[in-house]
Structure 1
Amino acid sequence: MARPIARVLTLLELLQSGSTRTVTELADRLDVDERTVRRYVGHLVDLDVPVESVRGRYGGYRLAPGYRMPPLMLSDDEALAVLLGLVAGRRAGLATDTASETAAAKIRRVLPDRLRGRLDAVLASLAFTDRPGEAVAPESAVLLAIADAVNHHRPISIRYTAADGRRSERTLHPHGVVAHAGRWYVTATDLTAGEDRTFRLDRVNGARTLPGSFEPPAGLDPAMRVLTGLATAPYQHEVTLRIQGTAEQIHTRLPAGVAIVQELPAPSGGAPETEHWSRVELRVDRLDWLPAVLASLDLPFVIERPDELRDLVEALAERLTKSARRRCETE
């Protein structure tokens, strides 16, 4: 059970978010009753921390606008979580090297020597099995402006540079910000083009909030929209397959950002689950990697198009057969 002083400090951390916290929410977070929350708030006020009481249906407590508190010391777990998060974000390409390194340096400077030494030991001994992602983090001002517009349903104007270098200014109703495979995206209704679009944030050169508001579509899943958009983007080859397996099985090798999987209805007569088939559609620039992926699925499949893929699969099967026989003959 946390000591009262620890709970008071936790209350202070919660109020630093800048938003109003209800008494019920604070009681749940601190694992105390509402009367105790009010007593803790009194302790903060006695320490000259300007906690304001907000009345009304959505009332509660908040810190006075403009108040800046001195930095609080991090616990061992908090410091490790923050530093590892910075390392992971930099490797995933979700933050720039400079921002991550300077933030980590500032955190390390305020840590006691004992904790700083232990964290340095963790970082020095840490190894990764994957390669660092490409750093394509968006400008902070762009990300913050778009996220605020998403949260408050405000239209925005962006300056955008397309993949082919064309520049344009667009008015959007932004629906969500999505991080995928080391890149940031915003899904939105593009009022300039009159259609729903997905934009890469690292290609946005500026964003400003416009007057007014909008009502976002009901039931929208921004992450799924990004994945579907990536899977249906125009590429050199359009591939259609039928694979005997479920969407979950197929996505283990062909993720949603690469392939659209539609499970087909089972034939009449109650076919067993092992005979479940799915239709798979991909758009790719190259076909040479697909035969090995299909082989790794270890599921029966039928190639509907293109014929070139069928030839590549047959060539891979021949090479594997020759290799298997060669090993057998040398034994």
Structure 2
Amino acid sequence: MTSLSDLPLRANLVGKQPYGAPQDAVPVSLNVNENTHPLPDEVVADIAASLAAAVRGVNRYPDREFGELRAALAGYLGHGLQPEQLWAANGSNEVLQQILQAFGGPGRSLLSFTPSYSMYPLLASGTDTAWIDVPRPADYALTPELVTAALAEHRPDVVILCGPNNPTGTPLDREVILAAYDAFDGILIVDEAYQEFDAERESAVTLLPGRHRLLVSRTMSKAFAFAGVRLGYLAADPAIVDALRLVRLPYHLSALTQAAATAALRHSGAMLRAVADIRDQRDRLAAVLTGLGYTVHESGANFILVGGFSDPGATFEALRARGILIRNLSIPGHLRITAGTAAETDAVIAAITELGPGGATA
């Protein structure tokens, strides 16, 4: 059979591996930071009715500019945002890809602070944008001084600050965002995929006025429990949105996606009702694991990064054998665990307690 090595790939794609978190039909799946709480019945009913209505018109192309959805997103974010400041695509990954298609590319660079979201370098490779990773400090927290020094040294064209950061959960302070924006003249993206889970910090959308190079990326996958729908979005200056319209594929958001997302936004209060419970489960899990002797890093997200495993790979497999799927990200001594329902938290606590200090060993 033909393999990748037999194909005339672009040079910067040779040797790369596609993104791929394990998928397994286990009873407790806590490895990709999904919202494991089910959608409320009234929301399901409205979405189903909206989809039924949309299906009647799918012989025609969808609204290319998805005006109703953009208005709904602007209303959800608030802070005086207008529909022309909103953009959406099939997940925030596609939003980020479109940004790099417009502002990255050959001869340009993307910088972020690692460990962070593993798709960033893959998106850079896919758009032929040079990738620059700057290591985070031991506590993973960024400071204005660290960020300013890195941007002065590397002079990137695009920067992504992930806050709360995936996979560490580390919150992102607005002083860091402001320092980064003032430190260079390129595009600054704040990736807020998990922002709804941070009860202490305001969204970076409050910083948009007067900052035309600041872009705030969001998603409905996490807090809205909409991972299967694939709806990511962006708030930025209208000129940025116009730039993304240059590179998007025609009719990139289906009529069904638009209908489902618009219906969900009508019920934002109900959709977000589970967020407080997820925070409680996150904090409960963190407290118990800390009591068991593990190191739990501060998290403003719906997951925790846990250190102190003597053999993370062996613990990952031992938990998987017990029907629990978490994430091994090859960070020495660490595993990442999504905060789920109370029953899922019970299962994780019981399994890790059973494995004993340091977790399983090979």
TM-score range, shorter chain: under 0.3
Q: Which has the higher strand share?
A: 1
TM-score by length of 1: 0.26
- Which structure has the larger Rg over C-alpha atoms? 1
Q: Name which structure has the greater RCO, CA cutoff 8 Å, separation 6+.
A: 2
